[in-house]
Structure 1
Amino acid sequence: MRQFISFTIILSLIPSSFPASADTPQIPLNLQEFEIGDTSSYLQVNNMPSLADLLTIESSASIFYSYARELALSQLFADLNSSVWDGEPKPTVGNAGLTLLVPTNKAVMALARKPHQGPPPKNENEDITISDEEFHKLSKENVQKWVEAHIIATFPLTFPAPTVTYDTVLQGKSVSFTSTQSNGEDEDWETVTIEDGIKILNMKQASNGILYLIDGAIDVE
C-alpha cells in the first residue's frame, strides 16, 4: 500500500521517451468494434501522410503522442479501418476523418496536474492509500479520458460565427469554437479560439483527418 499522491510513482508514469518509437507494439486491452463512416470521401489521397505520420514528425507534440500511444485507440491515427477501440461510446467517424486537437509540449508541461494524474481529489488533505495495481489502473483511465477529450470524430470542421460546439469522443464532453469573424461562413482556423481562449497555432491535413496544434489543453471536466 502507498500514498495515492506519490511523486516517485507519478514521475514513473510520465512517458520516458518523446516521441515513442514507431516500432513500439500496441497491445489493446479491450477489442471492440469501431464503426466507420463513408470511406469514399475525398480524404483518400495518395501519398498524403496519416495523422500518425504527422504526430511522429511533430516534435512539439511528442508528449501528447506519447500519452496517446499508450492506448489502443491511437491505432486509429494510422488507420481508420482499425477494429480497435477501448473507449465508450464507439463513434462513427464523419466523412472518414478525425480532428485532433493536439496540445504542444509546453502546454502539457504547464498543466498543474498532468494527464495521468487526473483531476485533484475532492479533499486534498485526506490521507488516501491505494494499491499499485489500483493506482496504475486509475492512471490509465485518466490518460484515456484526456486523450479522448482531444479527439473529435468529425472532419472537416466548420466555424460559423460566433460559436459552434462539437462533441469529442469522450462521452459527455463537447468543445466550443469561437470565431472572431463576423462572417458566418468563415472557416479560417486562424480566427478561432477554443474553449476559454486556447489558440490554434498550426493546422496540418492528413489522409485520415486534420491536426490542429493548440497552445492549451482541453479540460476533461
Structure 2
Amino acid sequence: MTAPISEGVHGTPELNGVSLNDFSTASNVKRTDYLSWDEYFMSLAFLSAMRSKDPITQVGVCIINSEKKIVAVGYNGMPVGLSDDEMPWTKGLDDPLQNKHLYVCHAELNAVLNKNSADVKNCTLYSTLFPCNECAKVIIQCGIKEVVYFSDAKINKPQYNAAKIMFAKAGVKTTSVYHMAPSSMSSVTCSIRKRLSALILSLSPFNKTGRTVAIYLS
C-alpha cells in the first residue's frame, strides 16, 4: 500500500519523511539529447525501410494516432506468399512483366493494411519518401490527416505531383522534416544517421556477421 503524502515541518510535501522538493536538485537533471517525437517516428520509418528487400529503393512508414501511439509500420515489398527470391526487383526492362512495379506493395499500403487499430482516421503518417499518387489515394481514403516526409527526391515525376495535388485538395497536410528542423535538411539527416548508427553499434554484440553496418539516408 502506498504511503500517503504528508506536510513536512516547513510546509513542504513529504513521502515517508522525505521532502518531495529534494528531487529538484542540480544533480537530478534529465538528459537533453533524447529523440524528439518527430525524430523518433521518422527513425522508426527508416528502421522499417531496412527490412525492404528492394535493392534499389527502400521506403519505410510509421503511422501514429493523436496520442502519439504507433498504430502501424510498413515497408515496400512483395505481397504475402510471393517469394522474394523469385519475383523481379528490376525496372526499365522491355517486358513489363519483368519489372518490379507491377508486383511490389508500397510501404504506405502495407502499413495501412497491417494496422493494429480499427482505423487510421486522423492519424499522422511518417514516410522516408513522399508518397506516390496510388498511395495518396489510400492515405486520403483512410482519413489520415497529415503526412510527414523525409525526401521528395521524386516530386517532379507526374505520379508524385498528382499526389501533391490530391493532398492539397483533400486537406491532407504535408510536412517536410526540413520545415521541422532548426537549421537545415542536412542537420536532420545527420541527426537521424548518428542516432541510428549509435543504435546499431550498441547492438553490435548481436551482429554475428562481422560486417560493418552502414546506413544510407539519401
Quickly name the TM-score band, shorter chain normalised: under 0.3
Q: TM-score w.r.t. structure 2 length?
A: 0.22
Higher Cα radius of gyration? 2
More helix by share: 2
